[in-house]
Amino acid sequence: MALAVAALAVFAAGLGILAPTAAYAAEGCKVDYKIASQWGGGFTGDVKITNLGDAVNGWNLVWTFPNGQRVTQVWNATTTSSGDTVTAKNMGYNAAIPTNGSVSFGFNGSWSGTNGVPTSFSLNGKVCTGTVGEPSTPPTTTPPPTGGISAMETVAAMQPGWNLGNSLDAVGADETAWGNPRITEALIQNVAAQGYNSIRIPVTWDNHQSKSAPYAVEDAYLDRVEEVVGWALEADLYVLINIHHDSWIWMADMNTNRTVVEARYEAIWTALADRFRDAPPELLFESVNEPQFNNVDDTTAYALLDDLNTSFHEIVRASGGGNATRVLVLPTLHTNAEQGRLDALSATIEALDDPNIAATIHYYGFWPFSVNIAGFTKFNDEVRADLEGYFDRAHDEFVANGIPVLVGEYGLLGFDTHTGTVEQGEKLKFFEYAGYYARQKGITLQIWDNGQHFDRTAFQWRDPELFAMMKAAWTTRSGTAATDQIFVPRTATVADVSVTLNLNGTTFQGLRLGSTNLVQGTDYTVSGSTLTIKASRLTAILGDRSYGVRGNLHAVFSQGAPWRISVISYDQPTMSAATGASATFAIPTQFKGDQLATMEAKYADGTNAGPQNWTSYKEFGRAFNPDYAAGTITLPTAFWSEVNDGQKVTLTFHFWSGRTVTYYVTESGGNVTGSLS
């Protein structure tokens, strides 16, 4: 994508009022229109409206495209079009624009030939001029409504959200202890520029709190947390701070060390409540991350968590100021949505009888799929049902009863090992559906990012395709397909290949190769949800048919992100005999363009071998690791530590082309022999 193609600042006058009870507005505003990224036939636009007059409640922005461009997808607004003229209207959560305040929305669009920027905007019926003019109507004699927005509205306005993971929550000397760079204001601003409305800032306090009474928190550390929070608030982000890894470092021993745990916990929240007493309501507090307690049953754990959540509530509310009504976020035990956990938190919230409470859970998907174990390599019906059940339970327990739900972390657990643990297309289907279904249930999502997604110095996405799918899911659905890979044997005759499309409520618009729109009937055909790519087009893409991805097609739908389909030339993968120490053993592998999906491990008698022997299919990234550049598949210590010494193990490697390779390994006294028989 070409970045920062163009930027235009146009000034608007005349902020009219849509709602009859809205505050009177002096005339004046500024509109910043940017083409944030552009590719063949498509682009992303970002629009920022800054109110230079009195506060308004309700807005619409009108402009005319100069070169026939069209909006295909929008977030944080709704749009209608009449020819080249576009009208963007506010969502419920961003209708109000205070004096000198701003709202932003974005869209994906299509273009052909030239992608010029609009030269004029009108806001609420008035042409933009860039100065604060005289009022066009007298001010209302009725004062504007007072009071903040509700907890439900607050959490809705936080969608979508991003986690500043493995920084202030890192366990060590400072925020760089886990490998991330020091947080900068530029990072926070760039996160906001991606379209996020909230940021969760996890904070671990253990190394910055005295271990003896009165358990004082370091002022310098509070200063640093306050600095980062301030940057986020200045970037117009909702902010959530918490007590993070302390939950397992020292709080987990609460049942046997209750006096100390309660005193330390209360000292932290007393310090935070005092420090942020007068912070704006866009700052939220979360009592504790993923609460857990050692060596107790659930009933005892529920009581311990209730004690902490109640204490948290009392400390913050009693501190007054903005804390008297600040939205407080309470987790379930382990921050998961098992029904018993939800019921226990419901009882706590009911007893507190406070309208400014939100519930939080985390979701990392159906576990076998999330880490790629037990053969769950695809986003299938079982994986989808798990997601639906999780969000349904949270909705029915809380949202349906007026209590907002914040999924403070979501993603895939396999990312802890490698972002490639789950195959790209299957990963994209998970994130597409998670975003869609959360919207259906009125649940706000905050993506967990510990540095593996958004580069914190280059300010770019490490996987732009994943971000495009997540971003589309903020407002709409995207079409996908049964696969994102077409494997063509290198020496075989090329034939037509059919791929089943998952339309997800969209309509198929066309197939693109780079910036070239392919010709239906010549290059491909479509029948219902079946896309068939012609052999002639595949042959042209394959070229000299050297191994690997030879080209990427993109299926374009009426809305959402396009779906990539890689055309891959491959042959049967092969492996070679090898010997070595178990700590460094790797199987020499010629992948020949293919990609590894999973691995099975069994003893000669057919019983399962290796770790987690309830399944023959081992965990990707932990029990085996492919290295395509090096031409190896490593079997790490985690695999050998649970293999019987001296027993031969049959390994079956399953590849995405459908091919398999059988290999045999025997470990004896720390040395491994690998063979083909």
Domain boundaries defined on the chain: 29-127, 152-473, 481-570, 574-675
Output the pLDDT for position 133: 54
Kindly tell me if the per-residue pLDDT of 640 is higher than 90: yes
Instruction: Compute CA 418 distance to the chain's CA centroid, rounded to the nearest angstrom.
Output: 16
Bridge partner list, 632: 588, 627
Q: In whole angstroms, what is the distance from residue 329 CA to residue 288 CA?
A: 9
Kindly tell me if the per-residue pLDDT of 146 is higher than 60: no
Q: Is 408 exposed, middle or buried (0-12, 13-18, 19+ CB in 10 A)?
A: buried
Regarding predicted confidence, which is higher, 104 or 609? 609
Give the rounded percent of residues in the chain with a pLDDT score beyond 90. Answer: 79
Kindly tell me if the per-residue pLDDT of 650 is higher than 70: yes
Mean pLDDT of 204-225: 98
Backbone angles phi, psi at 281, to 5 degrees: -70, -10
Cis peptide bond upstream of 160, omega within 30: yes
Output the pLDDT for position 93: 59
Q: In whole angstroms, what is the distance from residue 381 CA to residue 101 CA?
A: 45
Kindly tell me if the per-residue pLDDT of 668 is higher than 70: yes
Q: In whole angstroms, what is the distance from residue 75 CA to residue 36 CA?
A: 14
Residues carrying an active site annotation: 290, 409
Cβ atoms of 416 and 409 within 8 Å: the answer is no
Backbone angles phi, psi at 590, to 5 degrees: -100, 105
> Which helix H or strand E contains 502, and what residues bound it?
strand 497-502
* Token couple for 504: 């997800």
Output the pLDDT for position 670: 95
Regarding predicted confidence, which is higher, 106 or 294? 294
Output the pLDDT for position 144: 32
The dotted CATH code for 481-570 is: 2.60.40.10
Report helix, strand or coil for 332: coil
Kindly tell me if the per-residue pLDDT of 19 is higher than 60: no
* Token couple for 583: 């700590």
Written as one string, the DSSP assignment of 335-360 is G---HHHHHHHHHHHHHHT-SSEEEE
Asked if the domains at 29-127 and 152-473 fall in one CATH topology, the answer is: no
* Token couple for 482: 């049964």
Closest CA to 601 of 374, 370, 418: 374
Tell the residue number behind the tokens 């869609």, with chain if given: 436
Kindly tell me if the per-residue pLDDT of 229 is higher than 60: yes
Kindly tell me if the per-residue pLDDT of 586 is higher than 90: yes
* Token couple for 524: 């491909």
Mean pLDDT of 85-106: 78
Q: The sheet that has 524-527: what strands, in order across it?
A: 480-481, 497-502, 530-533, 524-527
Cβ atoms of 56 and 22 within 8 Å: the answer is yes
- Sign, CA dihedral 429-431-436-441, equals positive
Q: In whole angstroms, what is the distance from residue 417 CA to residue 438 CA?
A: 26
* Token couple for 45: 């636009």
Domain 152-473 -> CATH class: alpha beta
Backbone angles phi, psi at 362, to 5 degrees: -120, 155
Output the pLDDT for position 59: 84
Q: In whole angstroms, what is the distance from residue 548 CA to residue 539 CA?
A: 14
Cβ atoms of 560 and 606 within 8 Å: the answer is no
Least confident of 31-40, 55-64, 355-364: 31-40
Taking each helix axis from N to C end, the angle separating 424-440 and 381-397, rounded to the nearest 10 degrees, works out to 30
Give 247's pLDDT tier (boundaries 50, 70, 90).
Answer: very high
Closest CA to 228 of 263, 180, 265: 180
Mean pLDDT of 618-631: 97
| Span 316-334, pLDDT tens digits | 999 999 999 999 999 999 9
| Span 265-282, pLDDT tens digits | 999 999 999 999 999 999
Task: Give the global pTM.
Answer: 0.80
| Span 278-314, pLDDT tens digits | 999 999 999 999 999 999 999 999 999 999 999 999 9
Average pLDDT taken over every residue of the chain: 91
Q: In whole angstroms, what is the distance from residue 394 CA to residue 332 CA?
A: 11
Q: Say yes or no: domain 29-127 is CATH 2.60.40.290.
A: yes
User: In the Cβ-directed half-sphere of 497, how many Cα atoms lie within 13 Å?
Assistant: 21
Kindly tell me if the per-residue pLDDT of 91 is higher than 70: yes
* Token couple for 353: 């009888």
Residue type, 231: W
What CA dihedral angle connects 618, 620, 626 and 632, to 10 degrees? -30
* Token couple for 675: 């063979």
Give 14's pLDDT tier (boundaries 50, 70, 90).
Answer: very low
Written in H, E and C, the secondary structure of 71-107 is: EEEEECCEEEEECCEEEEECCHHHCEECCCCEEEEEE
* Token couple for 602: 């069994």
How many Cβ atoms from other residues are within 10 Å of residue 500's Cβ?
Answer: 12
